[in-house]
Amino acid sequence: MSQFSGTWPALVTPFTAGNTINVDTVVRLVSYHLDKNVGGFYVCGSTGSGVYQSVAERKLVAETALKTVAGRVPVVVHVGAVALVDAIDLARHAQEHGAAAFSSIIPPLYPGMDDVLAYYEALASAVPDFSFFPYLARPEVNALDLVRKLLHLPNVVGTKYTGPNMHEFGQIASLRDDGWSVFSGMDEQSVFAAMSGSCGHIGSTLNFMPGIYAGIRAHLAAGEYDCALSLQQQANAVTRVLLNHDFGGTLYETMSILGFDCGNPRLPWQPLSAEAKKAFRAELEAAGFWDAAQM
């Protein structure tokens, strides 16, 4: 089985009251997930506020996570940046510190397909012996066309696709027969992505309920489709509460409820007000949060 499989948290980055990286909580959070038997970690992605951190901060988070994991599961480090030189620096750093692969969003402010291709080709070529997962999460870019145009790069071993179009997802998943790993990234569609060929799932809500997504994949593997769908609906009930408020604020508040001091999110995410926290906590509990989180 490929090392790139299973259920992975898109790790949230904890901050201190002074808005610096909370290294102690990174260690606690990674250790918690290792005890939950996650398949791996995706570090400094969108959920991890990677693009809202300095290069030095991103390196600190990656180093801390990799040191804590100590090779027990694979870690993919997201390095995407508007400045290509920063992305290359972060990719080389991740490789030097033992990451299994690196990833990058389609960078903002790159207006056309040719620009995006030039970015990815330069980034992949800078670390040619390091597995690369382009991260597809911009609906205005034709994801299938983009991936087809990246297949000539030998270190592109798959992708992370965050979107609701399972027809498109399935086409991307079937582009290669061997050595090809396509992760799903939309938590609400995990069961359907698995049925469409995903190798695994990387998502935000796996920070607090990874077990429910592992259960979805286990039921599917056993042919228990109704059970898998039921777990997806249970997870979605919790996710819906987060989405009904400001997602960044609710994610950080959820981690606090779970017992992790993650501080406040980085801008542009906003923390919840005291009144909003009270309402959110009540809704979250009513949605079955604890049952989902304890799986």
Share of the chain above pLDDT 70, in %: 99
State how far the Cα of 177 lies from the Cα of 36, in Å rounded to an integer.
Answer: 31
Q: pLDDT value at position 264?
A: 97
Domains in the chain: how many in total? 1
Classify burial at 170, counting beta carbons within 10 Å of its beta carbon; exposed 0-12, middle 13-18, buried 19 or more.
Answer: middle
Asked if 198 and 39 touch (Cβ cutoff 8 Å), the reply is no
- Range 291-295 average pLDDT: 97
Half-sphere exposure of 84 (CA within 13 A, CB side): 14
Position 241 scores a pLDDT of: 98
- Tokens in use for 192? 């359907």
What is the reported pLDDT for 234? 98
141 falls within a domain: yes
Query: What span, in angstroms and rounded, lies between the C-alpha atoms of 221 and 16?
Result: 41
**Whether pLDDT at 58 is above 80:** yes
Q: What is the mean pLDDT of residues 26-51?
A: 98
Residue 105 forms part of a structural domain: yes
Q: Which residue has the tokens 């609701």?
A: 164
Q: Global pTM?
A: 0.97
Is the pLDDT confidence value at 1 over 60? no
Distance of alpha carbon 87 from alpha carbon 126, whole angstroms:
10
Query: Over the stretch 195-210, which tens digit does the pLDDT of each residue have?
Result: 999 999 999 999 999 9
CA 80 vs CA 30, 52, 95, 120, 194: distances in Å: 22, 11, 15, 10, 26
DSSP annotation string for 168-205? HHHHHHTS-SSS-EEEE--GGGHHHHHHTT-SEEEESG
Return the CATH number at 141: 3.20.20.70
In a domain, 46, yes or no: yes
Residue 276 domain flag? no
Q: Is residue 156 part of a domain?
A: yes
Any domain includes 225: no
Residue 176 structural domain: 6-210
Q: Token pair 């390095």 is at which residue?
A: 79
Nearby residues of 103 by Cβ (< 8 Å), 6 or more positions away: 42, 45, 76, 77, 78, 79, 80, 132, 133, 134, 135, 160
Give tens-digit pLDDT for 245-280: 999 999 999 999 999 999 999 999 999 999 999 999
Q: Which residues have C-beta within 8 Å of that of residue 55, sequence separation ≥ 6? A: 81, 86, 89, 90
Around Cβ 295, how many Cβ atoms within 10 Å?
15
User: Which strand (E) or helix (H) includes residue 266?
Assistant: none
Closest CA to 100 of 6, 31, 184: 6
Q: 26 and 207 in contact (C-beta within 8 Å)?
A: no
pLDDT over 70 at 287, yes or no: yes
Has residue 143 been placed in a domain?
Answer: yes
Mean pLDDT in residue range 110-137: 97
Query: For the segment 99-123, what is each residue's pLDDT rounded down to a tens digit?
Result: 999 999 999 999 999 999 999 999 9
Average pLDDT, the chain: 97
State residue 228's pLDDT score: 98
Residue 39 scores a pLDDT above 80: yes
The answer as to whether 239 is a domain residue is no
Compute the distance between CA of residue 43 and CA of residue 65 in angstroms, rounded to an integer. 8
User: What would the mean pLDDT of 72-85 be, rounded to a whole number?
Assistant: 98
